[in-house]
Structure 1
């Protein structure tokens, strides 16, 4: 069995082609620029050339792409967008219009793009997180075919036009943790994706349309839980464990016991430093890290359902491309409160693919294959 797992982040998209006939370590991997960064550069190129842009496609990750759109408008150049593409910029279409973006129908967008290409004064930019055609093109250059099974992770704040998406994201996390906090609570087949997860649903719709088979086996997750459960496949993850994913955009810490997430915090990586992160880790385990404190500091929040106390935590698993934040603490030679429990997770020998291994665990949760041996399923 072949499964393509794609973990779409802010800095990179990490892709793994799992083959059940081979050792997991022999899986084919790619770590490529994140789609939002690729899209952002296309927009910046149009700005430099003084061209209008037409945004089509679907909801995708904001950040770099959204910042580039704002800069394009500020430079005085037109931005047209279909409603689905515009939701990348903000959950409220009225606010999108207030930014100066002109909302058009799919037909109008197609016409604007065609006329603009003829005049060479307009660029059509397709908004899309996971692009199977690009992945297929890359693999085909090495004689590798695309599989029939998919597992995709994107960060989805949920659709909350009337409230802070940081608040709404933690309301959703709280619900999933209160329902049990198990891997199964965070994994969805296409038809199971909650209506609130508009970005995740957009990727499911795009994928099934692209492969042309609505029966394609696929699952979808948020990048946070995918990284958590992926890091737990490292043998050093002895529970109760705190898993910390220090990503390019966000840092997420989760307390996991008996394969259940019981407490969680999330902040922006740019706002963290070694001392602050250590403090968050200890207080998450002790049950004293509050939502308001993290939120008021500009982070997403925190939720603690069960906290056994830091002394009961047996391992602190650190993953993510910015993990040097805690590596510096570890290499300083100064014994800290967490240093003796730190492990830098490298499931199956690859730190950057923690999210992909979480996705594989999630895939086998939804599509059990007793004949296939994969840790944590």
Structure 2
């Protein structure tokens, strides 16, 4: 059995199955960042954050609020949730310690951080007598640890560009070992070391989950990020990523048209406030497939097909994670 967990800002979308059909175990749960943020919000007094690097958003906001009137101490892995630049975290007034020092802060309320709530998921599966997974995959959004002086938007997108320039293999966007580049992905893989496991960016997971095998444009219109990929003969030949809130009908139409015709450029998307773009060749798409919680932003002038893998649009990323196990086994050479 394979457990696929797609972690977003609002929800974590969970799939447990050994085959893809509609009669599977699937759950849409609050995201870990919301759950951990709620725990911290209830803390009165000094706070000790242990655990691992996780998605920021709500949890970052509540920690920044807490440190205004209380001591906040974090182990290094947890502190990277706020920033990979630990000096920046210290400048917030947060103390960063080694794991061995945790015992020195017994008077602090301890909250464990992490993108994986495996104990809770395993406990639920046990309670309804469902077989536990042998494989676990996770999707998280990761900007990467950008070198000093390089925009994290540029750095995040630079790996996607490298993959397209190399061979465009989707499997090269799926990781089984630590990357040394993406801290959140590496943290998740550390937590899954006792399983056969994979990790990948959640936007890429959604693209893989919705891709049907032809020459296609696949769009994931998320709450924060808008990504569109051109895939030709099972290879990624183009990609752009922007911020959903910054796009209107005309801009979406223009960018997708340029992606199709191989004319989109990195500078125009980055200069427009997005992450970036790269395209190696044009495409004649058989269809334009759209998923994501903000799919309503797509202009009605574009002929699109809404994705609903295994009958559920919320499972796009989780299905992509499940499919990524098989992708990683293909073309090993």
- TM-fit CA distance, 1:97: 0.8
Work out which of the residue numbers 121, 134, 159 in structure 2 matches 1:135.
121
Q: Is structure 2 residue 251 aligned with structure 1 residue 252?
A: no
Q: Which structure's CA Rg is the greater one?
A: 1
CA distance in 2: counterparts of 1:232 and 1:257, whole angstroms = 11
User: 1:138-287, aligned counterparts within 5 Å?
Assistant: 138-162=124-148, 163-189=150-176, 191=177, 193-208=178-193, 213=194, 216-233=195-212, 239-287=214-262
Check conservation: 1:179, 1:185, Cα contact below 8 A: no
Distance 1:269 1:205 in 2: 31
C-alpha spacing 1:79/1:363, structure 2 compared with 1 (3 Å): same
**Equivalents in 2 of 1:7, 1:260: separation in Å?**
23
More helix by share: 1
* CA 111–145 in structure 1, closer or farther in 2 if over 3 Å, else same: farther
In structure 2, C-alpha distance between the alignment counterparts of 1:282 and 1:72, rounded to whole Å: 46
TM-score, with length taken from structure 1? 0.82
CA distance in 2, matches of 1:103, 1:232: 42
- Residue 292 of structure 1 and its aligned partner are, at CA, apart by 2.5
Partners of 2:271 and 2:64 in 1: how far apart? 25
Secondary structure of the equivalent of 2:207? Answer: helix
- Partners of 1:296 and 1:125 lie apart in 2 by 39
The two structures, once aligned, show a CA RMSD in angstroms of 1.9
1:307 and 2:302 matched: no
Aligned to 2:107: 115
State how far apart, in whole Å, the 2-side matches of 1:277 and 1:57 are.
40
Q: TM-score, normalised by structure 2?
A: 0.92
Whole-angstrom distance in 1 between the partners of 2:58 and 2:249: 25
Q: How many residues align?
A: 329
**1:161–1:134 Cα change, 3 Å:** farther
2:56 match = 62
Q: Secondary structure at the match of 2:293?
A: coil
Q: Deviations over 1:193-229 (max 9, x none)?
A: 3211221111111122xxxx3xx32122111221111
2:160–2:173 CA contact under 8 A, matched in 1: no
Query: 1:101 aligns to what?
Result: 94
Instruction: For residue 131 of structure 2, give the secondary structure of its aligned residue in structure 1.
Output: coil
What is aligned with 2:2?
3
Q: Distance in 2 between matches of 1:270 and 1:40?
A: 24
- Is this contact kept in 2: 1:130–1:207, CA < 8 A? no
Cα deviation, residue 346, structure 1: 0.9
**Equivalent residue, structure 1, for 2:309:** 347
